[in-house]
Amino acid sequence: MPYVNIPNDLSKIKTKVAFNLTKRQLLCFGGAAAIGVPVYLLTRTVIGNSAAMFLMVALMLPFFFFAMYERDGLPAEKVARNIIRTLFLRPGLRPYETENFYTILTKGDENIGTDKKDETTAAKRKT
């Protein structure tokens, strides 16, 4: 009897459209081919084959990155949007402040022992 592994988390399973690729990957790879191949064909006579190939690869890499990169279940553009929001668009300071009672208590401890009475009573306690 054949045995098939079934993952515990079924939300990570993505539907494959063609060639074992998702719809997103097919669109990104198609966009990369639509940009890269004409650039190569038009520039190879002007700048040479090697330089045209490197230019084509450089233009296609962002498409491959957006097709394949995924972090915590989020695609690359959502990760980039979140990073831009937290670094540039949202304020870094919180709109409210809480009172830290520990600092109030430590400020009170710093004042203990500064009076002559406090120093004499502390010295009496030590002896």
The pLDDT of residue 6 is above 90: no
The pLDDT of residue 66 is above 60: yes
Q: Where are the domains of the chain?
A: 17-73
56: CB partners within 8 A, 6+ apart = 36, 37, 39, 40
The pLDDT-based confidence of 46 (bands split at 50, 70, 90) is very high
Answer yes or no: pTM beyond 0.85.
Answer: no
Dump pLDDT digits (tens) for 75-127. Answer: 898 999 999 998 888 877 766 777 777 877 777 666 555 555 555 555 555 55
Of the given ranges (10-19, 34-43, 53-62, 92-101), which has the lowest mean pLDDT? 10-19
